Amino acid sequence: MQLKLVRANLSAVKTDVLVLFEAEGQRRPGLESLSALYDSGEIKGKLLEFTLLHGVAGYAATRVLVAGSGKADKRDAATVKKTVSAAVRFLKGKGVGDVSVALDADMANPANAAAVAEGVLVGAWEPDRLKTDTDRPAPITSVNVIVPESAAADLETALERGEIVGQALNVTRNIAVEPPNVLTPMALAERARAVANECGLSIDVLDQDRMRQLGMGALLGVAQGSAEPPAMIVMRYTPAKATAGGHLALIGKGVTFDTGGISIKPADGMEKMKYDMAGGAAVIGAMQAISKLKPGVAVTGIVPTVENMPGGKAQRPGDIVKSLSGKTIEVLNTDAEGRLILADAITYAKQLGCTHLVDAATLTGAIVVALGHTSSGVYTNDDELFNRWMAAGRNSGEKMWHMPLDDDYLEQLKCVYADLQNIGTRWGGACTAAAFLKEFAGDTPWVHVDVAGTAWLDDAKPYMAKGPTGVPLASFVDLAMNWK
C-alpha cells in the first residue's frame, strides 16, 4: 500500500473515497448539502459511526465517508488512529482502491499524521494468510493524507514514522498469529534473523548448548519436555552517534505454545496458547521499527523462546532449577513457565550491560481478572523509568495501569528448599509473578508489562481484526525514540 502526504484543497481532490472527520454534535463546514442527514440524526459524529455518500455537492471525490470521531475535546491521536483503522475496515469489499483522508488545519499536526498512517496499516491487516480461498475483496492500494497548503513542513516525516510503526505492528501480528506447528522456537529465531538481516541489526541466537554452558537452568527446565529446541534471541541496535545515555533492553516472552506442561491447562481455549509469544513478537517488530527510526540510544531486544510441553522428559512440580543469576527455584507449577524463562533473560540482559530493562509478557490470567482486556498491567522498581514508560503508552495510545509491587507479595514466594518458589497463592497472582521477576532485576531500573489481556482479541473490533494486537510495540518504539 502506498501512503503519501498531499497539500491540496479538499474540494478538488479526485479519489474513490474522501474520508472526512466529524466531531460529535457539530456540523462540518462544506457539508451543507447534507443538512437533512444531520437533522434526521443519521449523521451524529459519534465515534466510529460512518456514513458513506455518493456524489456529494462541492467535492470532486466519487464518494465521501463521514467518519464520526467522537467529542472534539477528546479527539487525540489515539482516536484518530482508531477512527482511520475502522474506516479502512468499513471500506473493505466496497470496490475502493484509492482513499484520501483529510486532516483539517486544526488536526494537521505530526501526531495525527503518524496516527493516520499507523491506522491505515493496522486496519488493512487480516489474519487469513493461510486460507486458500482466493475470493477476497480487492485491497486498498493507495492512501493520500490531505492537509492544507499551509500545514507544517514536518508532516511528511511524521507520516513516514507512522508508516514504519504500522508496518512493524503488522510484522508482529504476522508472527503472533502463526500456528504453533509452523512457529516453533527455532522458526521464531529465523523470523528474527530475517528482520535483523533486512534492517542491518546484529543478531545472536543462543542455542541449547550455549545456554547450558552459561547456566540458564530456569529456561532450559521449561524447554526440556519438548522435542523442539529452545533459543535465546538477541537483537542489537547501536546508534551511529549516541545522543542519549544508557542501554535499553526490550525483553519479550517467547513461549511458542504453552500446554502448561505437567500442570496441564484445560483443553477449552488451549489453541490460543500460540499467542504466548506475543511479547517476543512485539520485541522483534519493535527492533525493526527502531532500526529504521534510529533513536540516539543503544537498544537490545531479547526474546527467550521455548515450547512448554508435557513430554516424558518434562519438568515436574517439585523440581528445583538453578537460574543464570545463581538463584535456585522450586517449580511448584509448570504452567508458571513464563517467569522462569524471563528470569534468565533479565539476568542475561544485565550481563550484556543493559542499564534499563522493560519486559513484556502474556504472563498471567490474573491480570485479565484484574484489568480485563482494556489495559496492560505495569509493575516497576524505578519511578523514573516507570514515568517514561507511561508517557510512551499515552503517546502511542496503548492503555496501561500501574499495579502494586510491595515487598509483601514476595512473602508468598519464600521457599524451604530453594531460594524462591515459582508461584504463590491464587490471590494477587499477577503481583506475585511480578515480585518473582523483580528478584532478578535487582537494582537495575526495570518495568514489567503483563499483556495477557491486551495482546490478543478474541473477536474482531470495528478497528481491528480478530487475533494479535501488537501491544506493546508502539510503546516500545516511543520509549526508545524519546529516550534522553
Question: C-alpha distances in angstroms, 113 versus 119, 147, 160, 312, 385?
Answer: 10, 9, 9, 54, 28
Sign of CA dihedral 305, 311, 313, 317: positive
Phi-psi group of 43: left, alpha or beta (phi > 0 → left; psi -120 to 50 → alpha; rest → beta): beta
What's the angle, vertex CA 231, arms to CA 230 and CA 234, rounded to 5? 165
The amino acid sitting at 172 is T
339 has catalytic annotation? yes
Contact 265, 250 (CB under 8 A): no
The amino acid sitting at 238 is T
Distance between CA atoms of residues 39 and 149, nearest Å: 32
Which residues lie below 8 Å from residue 269, measured CB to CB, with a gap of 6+? none
Distance between CA atoms of residues 428 and 409, nearest Å: 8
Ordered alpha helix ranges (H), 302-382: 338-351, 365-371
**413: number of Cβ within 10 Å:** 20
Contact 453, 72 (CB under 8 A): no
Q: Is the peptide bond before 472 cis (omega within 30 degrees of 0)?
A: yes
The amino acid sitting at 3 is L
Which residues lie below 8 Å from residue 411, measured CB to CB, with a gap of 6+? none
265 has catalytic annotation? yes
**Given the residues 82, 191, 339, 438, the one annotated as active site:** 339
Set of cell numbers at residue 367: 491480570
Beta strands in 117-246 (DSSP E): 142-147, 202-206, 231-237
The string of DSSP letters for 62-74 reads SEEEEEE---GGG
* Residue 222, helix vs strand vs coil: helix
Residues forming beta bridges with residue 300, ordered by sequence position: 236, 249
Instruction: Tell me how many helices (H) and strands (E) the chain has.
Output: 14, 20
**Given the residues 44, 94, 193, 265, the one annotated as active site:** 265
Quickly tell me which residue has 523483580 as its cell.
Answer: 438
Contact 456, 225 (CB under 8 A): no
Contact 252, 303 (CB under 8 A): yes
Which residues lie below 8 Å from residue 317, measured CB to CB, with a gap of 6+? 262, 263, 331, 332, 333, 334
Set of cell numbers at residue 386: 516507570
User: What residues act catalytically?
Assistant: 265, 339
